Chain A
Protein backbone atom coordinates (compact mmCIF):
# COMPACT_ATOMS: atom_id res chain seq x y z
CA UNK A 1 0.00 0.00 0.00
CA UNK A 2 1.43 3.33 -1.06
CA UNK A 3 1.36 6.31 1.25
CA UNK A 4 -1.20 8.77 -0.03
CA UNK A 5 0.67 11.61 -1.68
CA UNK A 6 -0.34 14.84 -0.06
CA UNK A 7 0.19 18.11 -1.84
CA UNK A 8 2.92 20.14 -0.19
CA UNK A 9 2.14 23.75 -1.02
CA UNK A 10 5.20 25.44 0.49
CA UNK A 11 6.82 27.78 -2.10
CA UNK A 12 10.26 26.11 -1.92
CA UNK A 13 8.79 22.64 -2.40
CA UNK A 14 6.57 23.80 -5.26
CA UNK A 15 9.55 25.50 -6.95
CA UNK A 16 11.63 22.35 -6.55
CA UNK A 17 8.85 20.22 -8.03
CA UNK A 18 8.56 22.57 -10.98
CA UNK A 19 12.29 22.41 -11.67
CA UNK A 20 12.10 18.62 -11.53
CA UNK A 21 9.15 18.57 -13.94
CA UNK A 22 10.80 20.98 -16.40
CA UNK A 23 14.05 19.02 -16.36
CA UNK A 24 12.10 15.78 -16.85
CA UNK A 25 10.47 17.17 -19.98
CA UNK A 26 13.83 18.45 -21.27
CA UNK A 27 15.35 15.03 -20.56
CA UNK A 28 12.50 13.35 -22.48
CA UNK A 29 13.25 15.57 -25.51
CA UNK A 30 16.97 14.89 -25.18
CA UNK A 31 16.42 11.15 -25.14
CA UNK A 32 14.09 11.36 -28.13
CA UNK A 33 16.77 13.27 -30.06
CA UNK A 34 19.30 10.66 -29.04
CA UNK A 35 17.12 7.86 -30.33
CA UNK A 36 16.45 9.70 -33.55
CA UNK A 37 20.19 10.29 -33.99
CA UNK A 38 20.98 6.61 -33.50
CA UNK A 39 18.32 5.67 -36.02
CA UNK A 40 19.80 8.07 -38.56
CA UNK A 41 23.28 6.69 -37.94
CA UNK A 42 22.00 3.13 -38.32
CA UNK A 43 20.34 4.06 -41.62
CA UNK A 44 23.75 5.26 -42.79
CA UNK A 45 22.58 8.49 -44.38
CA UNK A 46 24.90 10.73 -42.32
CA UNK A 47 28.49 11.62 -43.12
CA UNK A 48 31.19 10.82 -40.57
CA UNK A 49 31.48 14.48 -39.80
CA UNK A 50 27.72 14.80 -39.15
CA UNK A 51 27.74 11.75 -36.88
CA UNK A 52 30.63 13.19 -34.90
CA UNK A 53 28.92 16.58 -34.58
CA UNK A 54 25.55 15.17 -33.50
CA UNK A 55 27.24 12.80 -31.06
CA UNK A 56 29.27 15.61 -29.51
CA UNK A 57 26.19 17.82 -29.18
CA UNK A 58 24.19 15.09 -27.50
CA UNK A 59 27.08 14.27 -25.20
CA UNK A 60 27.37 17.89 -24.12
CA UNK A 61 23.59 18.09 -23.57
CA UNK A 62 23.88 15.00 -21.42
CA UNK A 63 26.67 16.55 -19.36
CA UNK A 64 24.77 19.81 -19.06
CA UNK A 65 21.80 17.82 -17.78
CA UNK A 66 23.94 16.26 -15.08
CA UNK A 67 25.20 19.71 -14.06
CA UNK A 68 21.68 21.13 -13.90
CA UNK A 69 20.59 18.21 -11.74
CA UNK A 70 23.54 18.78 -9.39
CA UNK A 71 22.68 22.46 -9.10
CA UNK A 72 19.10 21.70 -8.13
CA UNK A 73 19.86 18.84 -5.80
CA UNK A 74 18.33 16.23 -8.09
CA UNK A 75 19.64 12.90 -9.27
CA UNK A 76 19.36 11.86 -12.90
CA UNK A 77 17.06 9.01 -11.91
CA UNK A 78 14.74 11.53 -10.24
CA UNK A 79 13.89 12.87 -13.69
CA UNK A 80 10.96 10.63 -14.39
CA UNK A 81 7.21 10.38 -14.05
CA UNK A 82 5.28 7.37 -12.88
CA UNK A 83 2.49 6.94 -15.41
CA UNK A 84 0.80 4.18 -13.40
CA UNK A 85 -0.31 1.32 -15.63
CA UNK A 86 1.68 2.76 -18.54
CA UNK A 87 4.92 2.43 -16.61
CA UNK A 88 7.44 5.25 -16.37
CA UNK A 89 7.81 8.14 -18.80
CA UNK A 90 11.51 7.46 -19.33
CA UNK A 91 13.32 4.12 -19.24
CA UNK A 92 15.54 3.73 -16.20
CA UNK A 93 19.23 3.37 -17.03
Chain B
Protein backbone atom coordinates (compact mmCIF):
# COMPACT_ATOMS: atom_id res chain seq x y z
CA UNK B 1 0.00 0.00 0.00
CA UNK B 2 2.92 2.35 0.56
CA UNK B 3 4.22 1.83 -2.97
CA UNK B 4 4.19 4.97 -5.09
CA UNK B 5 1.12 5.14 -7.27
CA UNK B 6 2.97 6.21 -10.41
CA UNK B 7 4.24 2.67 -10.90
CA UNK B 8 0.92 1.74 -12.54
CA UNK B 9 0.27 1.29 -16.22
CA UNK B 10 -0.41 4.95 -16.90
CA UNK B 11 -3.45 3.99 -18.93
CA UNK B 12 -6.14 4.69 -16.37
CA UNK B 13 -7.44 8.24 -16.17
CA UNK B 14 -8.42 7.94 -12.49
CA UNK B 15 -5.37 7.93 -10.25
CA UNK B 16 -5.37 5.04 -7.78
CA UNK B 17 -5.22 7.32 -4.75
CA UNK B 18 -6.92 10.56 -3.83
CA UNK B 19 -6.58 13.09 -1.01
CA UNK B 20 -9.15 12.68 1.74
CA UNK B 21 -9.58 15.75 3.97
CA UNK B 22 -10.65 15.33 7.60
CA UNK B 23 -10.39 18.82 8.99
CA UNK B 24 -8.86 22.28 8.75
CA UNK B 25 -6.73 23.70 11.54
CA UNK B 26 -4.22 26.45 12.21
CA UNK B 27 -1.15 24.86 13.67
CA UNK B 28 0.25 22.19 11.47
CA UNK B 29 1.50 19.85 14.20
CA UNK B 30 1.98 16.58 12.41
CA UNK B 31 2.91 14.63 15.54
CA UNK B 32 -0.67 14.88 16.71
CA UNK B 33 -2.05 12.83 13.85
CA UNK B 34 0.85 10.75 12.56
CA UNK B 35 0.13 7.93 15.02
CA UNK B 36 -3.56 7.66 14.05
CA UNK B 37 -4.72 4.98 11.62
CA UNK B 38 -7.15 7.24 9.75
CA UNK B 39 -9.36 5.57 7.16
CA UNK B 40 -6.91 3.12 5.62
CA UNK B 41 -3.81 1.16 6.57
CA UNK B 42 -0.50 1.92 5.01
CA UNK B 43 -0.66 5.63 4.38
CA UNK B 44 -0.12 8.11 7.19
CA UNK B 45 -2.51 10.82 8.30
CA UNK B 46 -0.59 14.01 7.56
CA UNK B 47 -0.80 17.79 7.37
CA UNK B 48 -1.19 19.59 4.07
CA UNK B 49 -0.28 23.24 4.51
CA UNK B 50 -2.11 25.89 2.50
CA UNK B 51 -1.42 29.54 3.25
CA UNK B 52 -1.34 30.00 7.03
CA UNK B 53 -3.67 27.05 7.56
CA UNK B 54 -3.35 23.30 7.30
CA UNK B 55 -5.63 20.52 6.19
CA UNK B 56 -5.46 17.14 7.88
CA UNK B 57 -5.37 14.64 5.04
CA UNK B 58 -4.69 11.05 4.09
CA UNK B 59 -4.03 9.32 0.78
CA UNK B 60 -6.81 6.79 0.19
CA UNK B 61 -7.57 4.41 -2.69
CA UNK B 62 -9.83 6.36 -5.03
CA UNK B 63 -12.07 3.41 -5.82
CA UNK B 64 -12.84 2.85 -2.13
CA UNK B 65 -13.72 6.46 -1.36
CA UNK B 66 -15.27 7.93 -4.50
CA UNK B 67 -18.91 9.01 -4.50
CA UNK B 68 -20.07 5.62 -5.79
CA UNK B 69 -18.17 3.82 -3.03
CA UNK B 70 -19.87 6.01 -0.40
CA UNK B 71 -23.19 5.28 -2.03
CA UNK B 72 -22.52 1.57 -1.61
CA UNK B 73 -21.33 2.15 1.92
CA UNK B 74 -24.72 3.58 2.88
CA UNK B 75 -25.95 -0.01 2.66
CA UNK B 76 -23.14 -1.27 4.85
CA UNK B 77 -23.73 0.22 8.31
CA UNK B 78 -20.72 -1.56 9.80
CA UNK B 79 -18.25 -0.09 7.34
CA UNK B 80 -19.96 3.29 7.40
CA UNK B 81 -19.64 3.34 11.17
CA UNK B 82 -15.97 2.36 10.95
CA UNK B 83 -15.33 5.29 8.59
CA UNK B 84 -17.31 7.73 10.72
CA UNK B 85 -15.39 6.66 13.81
CA UNK B 86 -12.03 6.94 12.06
CA UNK B 87 -12.97 10.38 10.76
CA UNK B 88 -14.15 11.48 14.20
CA UNK B 89 -11.02 10.14 15.88
CA UNK B 90 -8.79 12.26 13.65
CA UNK B 91 -11.00 15.32 14.13
CA UNK B 92 -10.90 14.89 17.92
CA UNK B 93 -7.13 14.48 18.02
CA UNK B 94 -6.64 17.68 16.05
CA UNK B 95 -9.37 19.45 18.01
CA UNK B 96 -7.61 18.61 21.27
CA UNK B 97 -4.67 20.86 20.42
CA UNK B 98 -6.31 23.84 18.75
CA UNK B 99 -9.33 25.26 16.93
CA UNK B 100 -10.49 22.81 14.30
CA UNK B 101 -13.07 22.77 11.53
CA UNK B 102 -14.23 19.25 10.82
CA UNK B 103 -15.07 18.69 7.18
CA UNK B 104 -18.00 16.49 6.23
CA UNK B 105 -17.39 12.77 6.06
CA UNK B 106 -16.41 11.79 2.51
CA UNK B 107 -14.64 15.00 1.47
CA UNK B 108 -12.26 13.84 -1.25
CA UNK B 109 -9.98 15.66 -3.69
CA UNK B 110 -8.28 14.36 -6.79
CA UNK B 111 -4.81 14.98 -5.35
CA UNK B 112 -2.86 17.28 -3.01
CA UNK B 113 -2.52 19.96 -5.66
CA UNK B 114 -6.26 20.24 -6.31
CA UNK B 115 -7.03 20.05 -2.60
CA UNK B 116 -4.60 22.87 -1.88
CA UNK B 117 -6.02 25.00 -4.68
CA UNK B 118 -9.65 24.52 -3.65
CA UNK B 119 -8.98 24.98 0.06
CA UNK B 120 -6.83 28.07 -0.52
CA UNK B 121 -9.77 29.69 -2.32
CA UNK B 122 -11.81 29.30 0.87
CA UNK B 123 -9.12 30.60 3.23
CA UNK B 124 -11.04 33.68 4.34
CA UNK B 125 -14.10 31.62 5.25
CA UNK B 126 -11.97 29.06 7.13
CA UNK B 127 -10.18 31.82 9.05
CA UNK B 128 -13.47 33.37 10.12
CA UNK B 129 -14.94 29.98 11.12
CA UNK B 130 -11.80 29.04 13.09
CA UNK B 131 -12.00 32.36 14.95
CA UNK B 132 -15.64 31.65 15.72
CA UNK B 133 -15.11 28.18 17.23
CA UNK B 134 -11.81 28.87 18.98
CA UNK B 135 -12.03 28.14 22.70
CA UNK B 136 -15.61 26.94 22.31
CA UNK B 137 -17.26 23.55 22.31
CA UNK B 138 -20.53 22.15 21.07
CA UNK B 139 -23.22 20.68 23.31
CA UNK B 140 -26.14 18.69 22.00
CA UNK B 141 -29.44 19.01 23.84
CA UNK B 142 -32.52 16.90 23.20
CA UNK B 143 -35.85 17.25 24.99
CA UNK B 144 -38.50 14.53 25.02
CA UNK B 145 -42.15 14.82 25.96
CA UNK B 146 -43.66 11.71 27.52
CA UNK B 147 -46.67 9.99 26.02
CA UNK B 148 -49.95 9.05 27.61
CA UNK B 149 -49.14 7.07 30.71
CA UNK B 150 -50.29 3.52 31.36
CA UNK B 151 -53.92 4.66 31.38
CA UNK B 152 -56.27 2.04 29.91
CA UNK B 153 -57.42 2.80 26.38
CA UNK B 154 -61.01 3.75 25.72
CA UNK B 155 -61.74 0.26 24.44
CA UNK B 156 -60.42 -1.46 27.55
CA UNK B 157 -62.30 0.75 29.95
CA UNK B 158 -65.69 -0.23 28.58
CA UNK B 159 -66.26 -3.85 27.72
CA UNK B 160 -69.87 -4.62 26.83
CA UNK B 161 -72.38 -2.39 25.09
CA UNK B 162 -75.05 -1.32 27.53
CA UNK B 163 -76.98 1.78 28.43
CA UNK B 164 -74.67 4.78 28.40
CA UNK B 165 -71.62 2.81 27.28
CA UNK B 166 -71.51 4.50 23.86
CA UNK B 167 -71.39 7.92 25.44
CA UNK B 168 -68.80 6.75 27.97
CA UNK B 169 -66.66 5.35 25.18
CA UNK B 170 -66.64 8.67 23.33
CA UNK B 171 -65.80 10.47 26.55
CA UNK B 172 -62.86 8.08 27.03
CA UNK B 173 -61.59 8.75 23.51
CA UNK B 174 -61.86 12.49 24.08
CA UNK B 175 -60.04 12.27 27.39
CA UNK B 176 -57.24 10.33 25.79
CA UNK B 177 -56.97 12.88 22.98
CA UNK B 178 -56.92 15.78 25.43
CA UNK B 179 -54.21 14.19 27.54
CA UNK B 180 -52.09 13.58 24.45
CA UNK B 181 -52.52 17.16 23.25
CA UNK B 182 -51.78 18.56 26.66
CA UNK B 183 -48.59 16.52 27.01
CA UNK B 184 -47.44 17.62 23.58
CA UNK B 185 -48.21 21.29 24.26
CA UNK B 186 -46.37 21.09 27.56
CA UNK B 187 -43.46 19.49 25.72
CA UNK B 188 -43.34 22.31 23.18
CA UNK B 189 -43.44 24.94 25.90
CA UNK B 190 -40.64 23.16 27.75
CA UNK B 191 -38.63 23.03 24.52
CA UNK B 192 -38.84 26.82 24.19
CA UNK B 193 -37.85 27.23 27.82
CA UNK B 194 -34.83 24.95 27.41
CA UNK B 195 -33.80 26.61 24.15
CA UNK B 196 -33.91 30.14 25.55
CA UNK B 197 -32.03 29.16 28.73
CA UNK B 198 -29.33 27.45 26.67
CA UNK B 199 -29.06 30.41 24.30
CA UNK B 200 -28.37 32.69 27.26
CA UNK B 201 -25.39 30.52 28.07
CA UNK B 202 -24.28 29.93 24.49
CA UNK B 203 -22.58 32.02 21.84
CA UNK B 204 -24.84 30.52 19.21
CA UNK B 205 -27.60 27.94 19.04
CA UNK B 206 -28.89 25.89 16.20
CA UNK B 207 -32.12 23.93 16.13
CA UNK B 208 -32.15 20.77 14.12
CA UNK B 209 -35.10 18.79 12.87
CA UNK B 210 -36.83 16.81 15.59
CA UNK B 211 -36.99 13.06 15.18
CA UNK B 212 -40.64 12.77 16.16
CA UNK B 213 -42.00 9.80 18.05
CA UNK B 214 -39.85 6.92 19.12
CA UNK B 215 -40.05 3.99 21.51
CA UNK B 216 -38.37 4.30 24.89
CA UNK B 217 -36.19 1.72 26.59
CA UNK B 218 -39.01 0.92 29.01
CA UNK B 219 -41.51 0.04 26.29
CA UNK B 220 -43.36 3.36 26.27
CA UNK B 221 -43.15 6.08 23.66
CA UNK B 222 -41.79 9.60 23.72
CA UNK B 223 -41.83 12.54 21.33
CA UNK B 224 -38.74 14.58 20.63
CA UNK B 225 -39.68 18.24 21.00
CA UNK B 226 -36.21 19.80 20.86
CA UNK B 227 -33.09 18.74 19.02
CA UNK B 228 -30.52 21.50 19.23
CA UNK B 229 -26.81 22.23 19.28
CA UNK B 230 -25.17 25.05 21.22
CA UNK B 231 -21.76 26.61 20.83
CA UNK B 232 -20.54 27.39 24.33
CA UNK B 233 -17.30 28.79 25.74
CA UNK B 234 -15.20 25.82 26.78
CA UNK B 235 -14.75 26.81 30.47
CA UNK B 236 -18.53 26.90 31.03
CA UNK B 237 -18.89 23.12 31.38
CA UNK B 238 -20.20 23.27 34.92
CA UNK B 239 -22.71 25.95 33.98
CA UNK B 240 -24.02 23.77 31.17
CA UNK B 241 -24.49 20.86 33.56
CA UNK B 242 -26.20 22.95 36.24
CA UNK B 243 -28.44 24.77 33.73
CA UNK B 244 -29.63 21.46 32.31
CA UNK B 245 -30.17 20.05 35.78
CA UNK B 246 -32.32 23.00 36.80
CA UNK B 247 -34.24 22.81 33.51
CA UNK B 248 -34.96 19.14 34.23
CA UNK B 249 -36.39 20.09 37.59
CA UNK B 250 -38.37 23.05 36.26
CA UNK B 251 -39.89 21.38 33.21
CA UNK B 252 -40.12 17.77 34.37
CA UNK B 253 -39.12 16.73 30.87
CA UNK B 254 -36.59 14.17 29.86
CA UNK B 255 -33.52 16.13 28.72
CA UNK B 256 -30.51 14.47 27.15
CA UNK B 257 -27.21 16.30 26.91
CA UNK B 258 -24.18 15.23 24.94
CA UNK B 259 -20.80 16.86 24.66
CA UNK B 260 -18.51 18.58 24.76
CA UNK B 261 -17.99 18.00 21.03
CA UNK B 262 -15.75 19.53 18.44
CA UNK B 263 -18.15 22.16 17.00
CA UNK B 264 -19.35 20.14 14.02
CA UNK B 265 -22.61 22.10 13.76
CA UNK B 266 -20.88 25.49 13.81
CA UNK B 267 -17.84 24.85 11.66
CA UNK B 268 -19.54 26.36 8.62
CA UNK B 269 -16.73 24.85 6.61
CA UNK B 270 -19.13 23.10 4.31
CA UNK B 271 -17.13 20.47 2.57
CA UNK B 272 -20.17 18.44 1.58
CA UNK B 273 -19.57 17.06 -1.83
CA UNK B 274 -16.30 18.81 -2.38
CA UNK B 275 -14.98 16.12 -4.64
CA UNK B 276 -12.88 17.64 -7.37
Q: Which chain B residues in 75-118 approach chain A with CB under 8 Å?
A: 75, 77, 80-81
Residue of A2, A38, A56, A60 near B177 (CB, 8 A) is A38
Other-chain residue from A4, A55, A85 in contact with B169 (beta carbon distance below 8 A): A55
Quick one: given A87-B213, A91-B180, are A55 and B77 in contact (CB under 8 Å)? no
Number of A residues contacting the other chain (C-beta, 8 Å)? 30
B259 in contact (CB, < 8 A): no
Interface of A is mostly: helix
Contacts of A57 in B (CB 8 A): 166
Given contacts A1-B77, A59-B158, contact A92 B167 (CB under 8 A): no
Q: Which of B9-17, B133-141, B146-154 contacts A (4 or more CB under 8 A)?
A: B146-154
Identify which of B80, B148, B173 contacts A1 (C-beta below 8 A): B80
Task: Mark interface residues in B201-238 (1 if CB within 8 Å of A CB, else 0).
Answer: 00000000100110000000100000000000000000
Question: Within the assembled complex, what's the spacing in Å between the Cα atoms of A18 and B177?
Answer: 29
What residues of chain B lie closer than 8 Å to A62, measured between beta carbons?
A: 154-155, 169
> Smallest CB-CB separation from A4: which chain B residue?
B75
Residues in B whose Cβ lies below 8 Å from that of A55 = 165-170
Does A93 lie within 8 Å of B164, measured CB to CB?
no
Known interface pairs A1-B77, A4-B75, A55-B167. Does A92 touch B147 (Cβ–Cβ under 8 Å)?
Answer: yes
Which of B80, B154, B170, B177 gathers the greatest number of chain A CB atoms within 10 Å? B170
**CB within 8 Å of B: which residues of A?**
1-4, 34-35, 37-38, 41, 48, 51-60, 62-63, 66, 76, 85, 87-88, 91-93
Given contacts A55-B165, A58-B166, 20 further A-B contacts (CB under 8 A): A4-B75, A4-B77, A34-B170, A35-B177, A38-B170, A41-B170, A52-B163, A52-B164, A52-B166, A52-B167, A55-B168, A59-B154, A59-B155, A59-B161, A59-B165, A60-B161, A66-B155, A85-B209, A92-B213, A93-B153
The 9 closest A-B pairs by CB, nearest first: A55-B166, A56-B166, A59-B169, A52-B166, A55-B170, A62-B155, A87-B212, A1-B77, A55-B169
Q: List 9 A-B contacts (CB under 8 A).
A: A35-B177, A55-B166, A55-B169, A59-B166, A62-B154, A66-B155, A85-B209, A88-B213, A93-B176
